[in-house]
């Protein structure tokens, strides 16, 4: 993985840039001590690290605007950061960049149950958005697995999903409006407390733009009343293809489960050894969860188990209580930790059409043998979002590179199967150089054209998302405005 | 002029010397000025995978053909796109591309999302004649920028859709509608908000002030719908309204009329469509002094019939939302813009994007929104 060579002329101007920021902002906002900036040298993709020139932690939209305006005038790249939980390196700095973290901006600005919305500052964590409304029976639907730590700013940047997307959609489907600060410092309001902002769908293109179009400081989010209850059923099959067919049949039967989770044998084995959830040893395990009143849940689970029985499951375990539900979810929720006990792992999130599941799993198994690296698969089967966990040894020379090559092959396979490189983690630096696999030059050019409009100088998170060769002529094309 | 392939369309756009008036079925009003260019010839469903809830079709495929294919598998377009023909007095065959180009959503938008939320992937030809692909045919996809959303509702001003890939959903076993009678605007909007705060998954909430009827739709399995109907009845007993029930067929008819705004089909005046915060709807209506009005989306959408030529936007001043002039005389059109004018900062971004995707400005205003 290459990052562009930092601009030495910017690094040489560090003192000037920092003093301009200091002069315009409250004391605690700017951090340039080399020991302190190290805390911001990477995100959750820890294989890559680089301390930034400096870090800024603004407390308001106005301060964000000030920081961006100064960096724009100085021609300094800015790397926006939520909570730093990106698995794709979305918040990885370069040595010539200023990190702009929104973590100090975590206020709830408004809650309106009649209009079913909440307005927050985007440094607020995903789970604490739900936390602000759950006593009154509401929740915020997107639930990425890092929801305890991840910020709404990062959720918007990556268009984060979660396990319940089949029914509730991802971030973009739950976002009503934003306050966004452009690279030149301009503050723009888009959308609001109503459905469907008029004109071009700028909100739609901002969501998922990985911090390259602007810094979103406030967001209006849709909240929903909590369902009366939810309960899962667990089923085991002795063949991946049969489990895949069962998922298709459930979907075709008109049941809309809130989650369908899939685990393959390597993952089941690791999980059992770690969490002792009492899962059956089989080739494929499905956890299907439905919502509603007790009677509604019973009815849906009856339909689902009837379909499952037609596929000769080796195990069928319907939850009838909160304790049984927790037992069913226990293994799935500890899957990542279980794999982590065995070795270092890399987690991908390529997405495929659900119906291609058996073929893709077979091919991943073959590749696993070729590379000599073990892989376990956890999968949001309802929406085709795979999570292959490739095990490797970070201390063994060459293992990381081998793991990355294996990962790249899996993602190529996802694209070939009619899917995509990333379903919810984002491109970041991790999948940046694979973009050619999914998009032709004109397809990429159309995306670059959008950034040209929002950030003509290409200063916001410039070395991400797109292959470096494609963006080379755009990055660093403007020197400092005020010399 | 009509085209039957994407490459032919690209050639036509590249060699165009002036504005092109691009149309699919031309049913959603006002194809813009310029040489007529029909994409209805780009037709056919190329992939339908019911087990993956996805369908891919050429943009000119008749909407009816898509709906028939889905119905055969017990599935549907959940966002319930409106048919504009009765309201706008147009004829012709609505196309699936037109639905997404204008981001047309009906009453169920309230609970399931808009057309744009169901669009998974696009192919289009931009104003320079470049063929661009974005998104795909999977439900979760964050690979690069989401130009799919940008294209949805752009009314052909950034490019001409050639292929759309969409998410579909199963048709529920049954539906039924609670019908509250006698509520005034404020009480009706409050009752709808009360119902929407419940866990009973309302998929339509509308109020017709002329009839003083408020509709609340439930869909799902028979036993579930019965259960939720009873729960809602007791929840809304305090509203003081008389509560009746529309069963499957009557329920469907009522929502089709709501979707297509058939109440406004006849008669004089300009027709406006206004998006706002549901709780502010009655107050906005009071200021509008409309000849008549209808609420949808629990109050989040208001259809208004205004006296000819009245500028609703000026009358309302500032509020959280926007208004579109959907139907108006040619004379009114001279003085009033279709779309709510944008704040300068947003307009600069919009203009910048148009200049990137259609540098010669030949697609501007061609497939204008009527939604």
Mapping DSSP onto H, E and C, the string for A408-442 reads HHHHHHHHHCCCECCCCCCCCCCCHHHHHHHCCHH
A167 reaches B (C-beta below 8 A): no
Interfacial A residues in 302-341 facing B (CB < 8 Å) = none
Please, what's the largest Cα pairwise distance for chain B? 66
* Portions of chain A given CATH number 3.30.70.2740: 343-434
Please provide residue A249's backbone torsions phi and psi, each rounded to the nearest 5 degrees.
-65, -35
Q: What is the ipTM of this complex?
A: 0.96
- Contact: A465, B144; criterion CB under 8 Å: yes
- Residue B99 confidence (pLDDT): 97
For residues A346 and A392, the answer to whether their CB atoms sit within 8 Å is yes
Please provide residue B265's backbone torsions phi and psi, each rounded to the nearest 5 degrees.
-60, -50
* Portions of chain A given CATH number 3.30.70.2190: 230-335
Return the closest-CA partner of residue B173 out of B138, B224, B136, B215. B224
Q: Taking CA B258 as the corner, what is the angle to CA B291 and CA A200, rounded to the nearest 5 degrees? A: 85
**CATH numeric code, A343-434:** 3.30.70.2740
* Portions of chain A given CATH number 3.30.43.10: 8-103
Contacts of A207 in chain B (CB under 8 A): 146, 149
Please provide residue A39's backbone torsions phi and psi, each rounded to the nearest 5 degrees.
-65, -15
User: Chain A closest CA to B148's CA: distance in Å?
Assistant: 8
Return the closest-CA partner of residue B275 out of B299, B291, B257. B299
For residues A184 and A148, the answer to whether their CB atoms sit within 8 Å is no
Could you tell me the two tokens for A335?
A: 């899957």
Please provide residue B270's backbone torsions phi and psi, each rounded to the nearest 5 degrees.
-90, 145
A448 vs A467: CA distance, rounded Å = 11
Return the closest-CA partner of residue A156 out of A171, A169, A142, A143. A171
User: Chain B closest CA to A199's CA: distance in Å?
Assistant: 7
**Which residues make beta-bridge pairs with A367?**
none
Residues A303-320 pLDDT 10s: 999 999 999 999 999 999
- Residue A480 confidence (pLDDT): 52
At B263 the three-state DSSP class reads helix
For residues B107 and B260, the answer to whether their CB atoms sit within 8 Å is no
Cα-to-chain-centroid distance, residue A195: 24
- Contact: B356, A115; criterion CB under 8 Å: no
Residues A409-465 pLDDT 10s: 999 999 999 999 999 999 999 999 999 999 999 999 999 999 999 999 999 999 999
B134 reaches A (C-beta below 8 A): yes
B217 vs A84: CA distance, rounded Å = 43
> What strand order describes the sheet that includes A108-112?
A108-112, A117-121, A215-222, A175-181, A187-191
A272 reaches B (C-beta below 8 A): no
Q: What is the DSSP annotation of B11-52?
A: HHHHH--S-EEEESS--SS-B-SSEEEE-TTS--EEEEEGGG
- Residue B30 confidence (pLDDT): 58
- Residue B238 confidence (pLDDT): 84
List average pLDDT for each run of 10 residues in chain A, which is 483 residues long: 90 97 96 95 93 98 98 97 95 97 98 98 98 98 92 98 89 98 98 94 98 98 96 95 91 89 92 91 95 93 96 94 92 86 90 90 94 92 91 92 95 96 95 96 98 97 96 75 42
Q: Spell out, as residue ranges, where chain B has pLDDT lower than 50.
A: 366-371
A354 reaches B (C-beta below 8 A): yes
All residues at 6 or more sequence positions from B68 whose CB lies less than 8 Å from its CB, including other chains: none
**Which residues make beta-bridge pairs with A389?**
A347, A376
For residues A216 and A206, the answer to whether their CB atoms sit within 8 Å is yes
B337 reaches A (C-beta below 8 A): no
**Number of other residues whose CB lies within 10 A of the CB of residue A346:** 21
Return the closest-CA partner of residue B63 out of B80, B38, B87, B86. B80
> What strand order describes the sheet that includes A284-291?
A315-318, A230-237, A284-291, A259-264, A375-380, A385-392, A344-347
Could you tell me the two tokens for B203?
A: 């998929």
A65 reaches B (C-beta below 8 A): no
**DSSP annotation of B232:** H
* Portions of chain A given CATH number 3.30.465.10: 108-225
- Contact: B147, A295; criterion CB under 8 Å: no
Could you tell me the two tokens for B28?
A: 């959603």
- Contact: A202, B346; criterion CB under 8 Å: yes
A332 vs A320: CA distance, rounded Å = 18
B335 vs B268: CA distance, rounded Å = 18
Q: How many helices (H) and strands (E) does chain A have?
A: 18, 18
Structural domains of chain B ordered from first start: 6-170 (3.30.465.10), 174-260 (3.30.70.600), 262-335 (3.30.70)
A324: exposed, middle or buried (Cβ count in 10 Å: 0-12, 13-18, 19+): middle
Q: Which helix (H) or strand (E) holds B342?
A: none
Q: Taking CA B49 as the corner, what is the angle to CA A297 and CA A348, rounded to the nearest 5 degrees? A: 80
How large is the C-alpha radius of gyration of chain B? 21
Contacts of B297 in chain A (CB under 8 A): 195
Tell me which residue has tokens 């403007």: A478
At A163 the three-state DSSP class reads coil
Contacts of A205 in chain B (CB under 8 A): 145-147, 149-150
All residues at 6 or more sequence positions from B354 whose CB lies less than 8 Å from its CB, including other chains: B157, B158, B361, B364
B337 vs A363: CA distance, rounded Å = 56
- Contact: B146, A159; criterion CB under 8 Å: yes
Residues A247-268 pLDDT 10s: 989 988 888 899 999 999 999 9
Could you tell me the two tokens for A24?
A: 């315009």
A279 reaches B (C-beta below 8 A): no
A191 reaches B (C-beta below 8 A): no
A35 reaches B (C-beta below 8 A): no
**CATH numeric code, A108-225:** 3.30.465.10
All residues at 6 or more sequence positions from A98 whose CB lies less than 8 Å from its CB, including other chains: A17, A21, A52, A53, A54, A55, A56, A67, A71, A76, A77, A78, A79
How many beta-carbon pairs below 8 A join chains A and B?
Answer: 261
> Helices A265-275 and A322-333, interaxial angle, to 10°?
110
A269 vs A291: CA distance, rounded Å = 29
Alpha helices, DSSP H, located in A43-92: 61-74
CB hemisphere CA count around A289 (13 angstroms): 23
**Which residues make beta-bridge pairs with B48?**
B55
All residues at 6 or more sequence positions from A444 whose CB lies less than 8 Å from its CB, including other chains: A435, A436, A466, A467, A470, B144
At A42 the three-state DSSP class reads coil
Contacts of A293 in chain B (CB under 8 A): 224, 227
B55 vs B78: CA distance, rounded Å = 13
Q: Which CATH number fits domain A8-103: 3.40.190.10, 3.30.43.10, 1.10.1040.10, 3.40.50.300?
A: 3.30.43.10
How large is the C-alpha radius of gyration of chain A? 23
- Contact: A198, B137; criterion CB under 8 Å: no
A135 vs A133: CA distance, rounded Å = 6
Interfacial B residues in 166-225 facing A (CB < 8 Å) = 169-173, 190, 193, 196-199, 220-221, 223-224
Domain A230-335: CATH architecture, name and number where available? 2-Layer Sandwich (3.30)
B140 reaches A (C-beta below 8 A): yes
Q: Measure Cα distances from A319 to A230, A244, A250, A329 in Å.
A: 10, 22, 18, 10
Could you tell me the two tokens for A325?
A: 């539900």
């Amino acid at each position: 993985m290459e990052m562009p060579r930092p601009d030495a002329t910017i690094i040489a101007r560090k003192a000037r840039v920092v003093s301009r920021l200091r002069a315009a902002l409250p004391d605690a906002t700017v951090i340039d001590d080399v020991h302190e900036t190290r805390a911001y040298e990477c995100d959750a993709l820890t294989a890559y690290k680089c301390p930034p020139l400096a870090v800024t932690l603004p407390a308001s939209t106005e301060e964000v605007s000030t920081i961006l305006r100064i960096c724009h005038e100085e021609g300094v790249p800015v790397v926006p950061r939520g909570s730093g939980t990106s698995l794709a390196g979305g918040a990885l700095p370069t040595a010539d960049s200023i990190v702009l973290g929104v973590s100090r901006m975590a206020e709830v600005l408004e809650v309106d149950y009649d209009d079913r919305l909440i307005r927050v500052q985007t440094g607020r964590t995903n789970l604490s958005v739900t936390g602000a409304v759950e006593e009154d029976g509401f929740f915020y639907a997107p639930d990425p697995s890092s929801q305890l730590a991840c910020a709404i700013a990062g959720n918007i940047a990556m268009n984060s999903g979660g396990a319940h997307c089949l029914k509730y959609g991802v971030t973009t489907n739950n976002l009503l409006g934003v306050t966004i600060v452009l690279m030149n410092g301009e503050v723009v309001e888009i959308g609001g407390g109503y459905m469907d902002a008029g004109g071009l769908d700028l909100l739609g293109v901002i969501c998922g733009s990985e911090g390259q179009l602007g810094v979103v400081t406030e967001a209006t989010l849709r909240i929903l009343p909590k369902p009366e209850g939810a309960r899962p059923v667990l089923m085991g099959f002795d063949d991946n293809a049969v489990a895949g067919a069962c998922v298709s049949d459930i979907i075709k039967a008109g049941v809309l489960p809130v989650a369908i989770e899939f685990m393959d044998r390597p993952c089941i084995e690791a999980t059992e050894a770690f969490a002792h959830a009492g899962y059956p040893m089989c080739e494929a395990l499905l956890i299907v969860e439905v919502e509603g009143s007790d009677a509604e849940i019973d009815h849906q689970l009856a339909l689902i188990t009837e379909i499952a029985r037609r596929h000769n499951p080796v195990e069928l375990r319907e939850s009838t209580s909160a304790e049984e539900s927790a037992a069913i979810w226990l293994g799935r929720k500890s899957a990542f930790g279980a794999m982590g006990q065995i070795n270092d792992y890399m987690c991908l999130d390529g997405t495929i059409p659900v119906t291609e599941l058996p073929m893709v799993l077979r091919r991943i198994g073959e590749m696993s043998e070729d590379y000599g690296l073990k892989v376990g698969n956890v999968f949001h089967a309802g929406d085709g979002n795979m999570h292959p966990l490739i095990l490797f040894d970070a201390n063994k020379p060459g293992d990381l590179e081998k793991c990355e090559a294996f990962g790249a092959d899996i993602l190529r396979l996802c694209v070939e199967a009619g899917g995509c490189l990333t379903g919810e983690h984002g491109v970041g630096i991790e999948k940046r150089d694979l973009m050619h696999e999914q998009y032709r030059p004109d397809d990429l050019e159309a995306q670059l054209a959008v950034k040209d409009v929002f950030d003509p100088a290409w200063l916001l998170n410039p070395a991400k998302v797109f292959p470096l060769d494609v963006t080379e002529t755009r990055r660093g094309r403007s020197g400092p405005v005020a010399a | 002029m009509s085209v039957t392939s994407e490459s032919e369309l690209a050639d036509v756009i590249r060699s165009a010397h002036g504005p092109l008036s691009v149309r699919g079925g031309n049913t959603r009003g006002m194809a813009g000025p310029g040489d007529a260019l029909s994409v209805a010839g780009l037709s056919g469903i190329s992939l339908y995978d019911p087990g993956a809830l996805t369908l891919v079709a050429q943009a000119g495929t008749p909407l009816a053909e898509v709906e028939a294919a889905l119905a055969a598998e017990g599935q549907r377009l959940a966002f319930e796109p409106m048919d504009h023909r009765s309201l706008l007095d147009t004829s012709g065959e609505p196309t699936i591309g037109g639905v997404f180009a204008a981001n047309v959503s009906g009453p169920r938008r309230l609970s399931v999302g808009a057309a744009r939320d169901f669009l998974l992937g696009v192919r289009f030809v931009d104003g320079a004649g470049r063929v661009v692909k974005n998104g795909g045919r999977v439900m979760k996809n964050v690979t690069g920028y989401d130009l799919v959303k940008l294209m949805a509702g752009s009314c052909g001003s950034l490019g001409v859709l050639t292929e759309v890939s969409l998410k579909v959903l199963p048709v529920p076993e049954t539906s039924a509608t609670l019908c509250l009678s006698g509520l005034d605007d404020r009480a009706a909007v409050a009752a709808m908000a009360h119902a929407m705060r419940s866990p009973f998954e309302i998929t339509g909430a509308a109020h017709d002030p002329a009839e003083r009827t408020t509709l609340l739709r439930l869909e799902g399995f028979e036993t579930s719908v019965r259960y939720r109907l009873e729960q809602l009845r007791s929840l809304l007993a305090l509203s003081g309204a008389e509560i009746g029930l529309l069963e499957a067929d009557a329920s469907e008819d009522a929502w089709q009329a709501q979707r297509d705004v058939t109440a406004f089909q006849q008669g004089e005046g300009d027709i406006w469509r206004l998006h706002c915060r549901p709780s502010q709807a009655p107050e906005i209506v009071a200021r509008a002094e409309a000849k008549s009005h209808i609420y949808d989306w629990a109050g989040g959408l208001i259809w208004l019939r205004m006296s000819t030529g009245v500028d609703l936007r000026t009358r309302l001043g500032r509020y959280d939302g926007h208004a579109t002039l959907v139907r108006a005389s040619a004379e009114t059109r001279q003085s009033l813009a279709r779309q709510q004018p944008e704040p300068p900062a947003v307009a600069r971004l919009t203009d910048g994007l148009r200049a990137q995707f259609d540098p010669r400005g030949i697609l501007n205003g061609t497939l204008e929104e009527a939604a």
